Each structure stands twice: as structure tokens, then as C-alpha cells.
């Protein structure tokens, strides 16, 4: 048996690492790989895996244009929506290495319909990208669909960009008729008071004070407070400028449905639970659950909601999600959806009938998305 030299052993290890990452020898010039090559081909592997969900065009110098799909939402277009949003995170940002793939354009021209929640998450991801490249993004709206342009204008999307020529909106865009959207609110850790701004904005579009507002306000304040406690813990590499949360709302004049959407870009609820003070209580709940299911994101989400506590055990906290649920119960129609990583937990009331859903997705949504919907008339 021939003795393997140390040099050959290192080559074998490197070759195995490349194989696990989906990298083949023909991708490397001269069959040699540097650290920059590895990063590039990890990006390529990611692109190969997601080509069925994202529409990308690679130009010279590894510059990429990402074309958004016609429809984006988290209900029946989840995988395509999250794959495109993930592509912005994966390929955007500032890179010091010229060999990396680099996102230079996000094309909205094909987009025809987008939900309020998808619009907020997309806005958040573009805001993160813009922060990383020092506010150099500039929207080009010449070929945008009029309805999409109107929706993003109402969301306050264009106020995001400092490097933006004045965009003149004419009357041809029309009114949003049935759906009224409030401008998004962006905050950081400690900005829980900003949740109060939503009350004023929602009151403006609904046209009257919302009954039981105390429940809704308490739930939103809790969600914002939890960002500081759970979403961006130390040791995960988040800079202070990355510790943001986003909030918006919408009201449908016809269906009388009020929707509130909250999103943070942190580690996600499933990852935060093992370090929380409620983990021991969750383990007790898990005693009745098969071992293979205990690490699933949807199972962890369900446990977190139904335990009705946060990790702080503070008497004035831990009931934020229950406040949001209570509002729905008062109306007997509505739902609360939480998407974090690959998990979904949804509580729904239809004419007083309770439905609970837990689902696992193929593609992970980074952070935590809370979608609350309530019927304002019985």
C-alpha cells in the first residue's frame, strides 16, 4: 500500500470539500483554486441550484441582472418570491474581489402583482443592499407596470434612495381604489416608539378609530421589542446598521380587511429559541413529539407561539402575539402568519372557526415575517 504524502493528502481534502460544494475541476483555471475562486464557485453553485426560481443574466466581469417574476407573494408563490429575495442578499452587497459574481441590477419590468408583505420584504432587502454600498442604488422606472409603480409609491419605496433623481408621478397612475397602503416604517433596536406611528397612519386610511386598538398596539410593540432581545444576538456578525426592522399596513375598502406586516432580518425565531429561557419548557412540549421533528422550523414556531411567553419572562412581555390573536378573536375573522427560516405557523379564524397550520418550505426566508390580518366588520 502506497503511503500518501502530506501534500497529496491536502489535495484530497481540498478535492472532497470542493465536491461537497458542487464544484468540479473544470471550473478552475489550471486546476488550481484560490480562496477567491472558491467564493466565486460557491456563488455559481448557488445560482445553478436556483436557476429554476430566479431569472438572472450574467454580463461581463461577472455582473448579474436579476429580473423579478410576474407575481410575488408568500401564499401561492412562496418559493419563487423567497428565491428572488435571497438572490439579492446572496449576490448583492459590496465585494472587494473582482472574481465574485456581483448583482448590479434588479429589474422590475416583468413584475405585475405583489402582495403587501412581499413588497415590504423586498423593500427591506433592497434597503440592506443600498446601505452596504453606501446609498448608490438608483431606481429606473421607465418600463414598470403602472399598478406596481403606484403600489411602491404608496409604500414610500422611493424615499429609500438618496441617490435618486426626482421621479414625477402623473395622474395616469390613477388611484389604488380598493387597497390603501401606508408608508413603511424602518426602525432599529430600541425604536419601539415608532410602532405608534402606525396607529396614526392606519387611522388615516381606515377613516375611524380602530376598536380594541390596545391589543394591536401591544402586539406590535412586543414584536419591535423582541428584535432587540432575540433577532440580532451577539456573536452572529451583525453590525449596528444591520439591526433593522420594517413595518407597514394596508386596508381594503371593499373587504374591510386590515393587514399589518412586520419584518426583521435577524437570525429567525427557530435559531433564537435554544438560547432562550423558554427552551426547557419547549423541550417538555417536545416529549410528545417524534425526535426527528423536534428541530423542524415549523414545529419550533408552533411551540413558541403556543407557549405564550418570550425568553425574558418579564411580566409586561410575552403576550405580544397573543395580543394580536386576541384582536382577531374579537372579530371572529382573520389570521396571524409567522414565517421564519423554513417554517410557517398560521392561526386563522373563519366565522369563528379556528384553523391552525404548520408547514415547512424548501427555501428559507432569512429573518422573521409576521403577517396579521383582521376583518373590521362582522
Residue 156 phi/psi, 5-degree rounding, is 85, 20
The proportion of the chain whose per-residue pLDDT surpasses 90, expressed as a percent, equals 34
Residue 17 above 70 pLDDT? no
d(CA 60, CA 41): 16
Express each pLDDT in 92-123 by its tens digit. 866 545 557 788 999 999 999 999 999 999 99
What's the confidence (pLDDT) of residue 93? 65
Express each pLDDT in 281-339 by its tens digit. 666 666 667 766 777 888 888 887 777 544 444 444 446 677 788 888 888 899 999 99
What's the confidence (pLDDT) of residue 31? 32
What's the confidence (pLDDT) of residue 37? 41
Per-residue pLDDT band at 30 (split at 50, 70, 90): very low
Lowest mean pLDDT among 67-76, 103-112, 279-288, 352-361: 279-288
Amino acid at each position: 500500500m502506497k503511503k500518501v504524502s502530506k501534500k497529496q493528502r491536502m489535495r484530497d481534502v481540498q478535492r472532497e470539500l470542493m465536491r461537497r460544494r458542487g464544484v468540479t475541476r473544470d471550473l478552475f483555471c489550471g486546476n488550481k483554486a484560490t480562496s477567491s475562486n472558491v467564493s466565486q464557485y460557491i456563488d455559481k453553485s448557488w445560482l445553478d441550484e436556483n436557476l429554476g426560481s430566479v431569472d438572472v443574466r450574467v454580463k461581463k466581469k461577472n455582473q448579474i441582472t436579476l429580473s423579478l417574476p410576474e407575481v410575488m407573494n408568500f401564499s401561492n408563490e412562496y418559493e419563487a418570491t423567497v428565491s428572488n429575495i435571497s438572490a439579492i442578499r446572496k449576490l448583492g452587497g459590496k465585494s472587494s474581489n473582482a472574481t465574485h459574481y456581483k448583482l448590479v441590477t434588479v429589474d422590475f419590468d416583468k413584475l405585475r402583482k405583489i402582495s403587501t408583505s412581499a413588497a415590504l420584504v423586498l423593500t427591506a432587502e433592497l434597503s440592506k443592499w443600498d446601505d452596504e454600498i453606501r446609498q448608490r442604488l438608483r431606481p429606473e422606472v421607465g418600463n414598470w407596470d403602472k399598478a406596481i409603480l403606484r403600489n411602491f409609491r404608496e409604500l414610500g419605496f422611493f424615499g429609500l434612495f438618496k441617490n435618486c433623481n426626482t421621479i414625477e408621478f402623473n395622474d395616469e397612475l390613477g388611484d389604488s381604489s380598493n387597497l390603501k397602503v401606508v408608508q413603511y416604517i424602518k426602525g432599529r433596536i430600541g425604536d419601539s416608539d415608532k410602532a405608534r406611528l402606525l396607529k396614526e397612519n392606519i387611522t388615516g386610511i381606515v377613516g375611524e378609530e380602530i376598536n380594541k386598538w390596545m391589543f394591536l398596539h401591544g402586539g406590535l410593540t412586543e414584536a419591535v421589542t423582541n428584535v432587540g432581545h432575540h433577532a440580532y444576538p451577539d456573536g452572529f456578525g451583525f453590525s449596528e446598521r444591520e439591526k433593522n426592522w420594517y413595518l407597514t399596513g394596508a386596508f381594503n375598502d371593499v373587504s374591510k380587511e386590515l393587514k399589518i406586516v412586520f419584518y426583521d432580518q435577524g437570525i429567525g425565531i427557530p435559531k433564537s429559541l435554544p438560547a432562550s429561557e423558554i427552551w426547557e419548557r419547549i423541550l417538555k412540549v417536545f416529549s410528545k413529539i417524534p425526535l426527528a421533528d423536534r428541530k423542524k422550523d415549523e414545529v419550533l414556531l408552533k411551540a413558541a407561539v403556543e407557549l405564550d411567553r418570550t425568553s425574558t419572562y418579564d411580566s409586561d412581555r410575552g403576550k405580544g402575539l397573543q395580543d394580536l390573536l386576541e384582536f382577531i378573536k374579537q372579530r371572529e375573522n382573520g389570521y396571524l402568519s409567522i414565517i421564519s427560516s423554513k417554517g410557517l405557523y398560521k392561526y386563522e379564524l373563519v366565522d369563528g372557526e379556528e384553523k391552525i397550520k404548520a408547514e415547512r418550505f424548501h427555501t428559507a426566508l432569512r429573518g422573521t415575517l409576521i403577517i396579521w390580518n383582521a376583518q373590521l366588520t362582522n
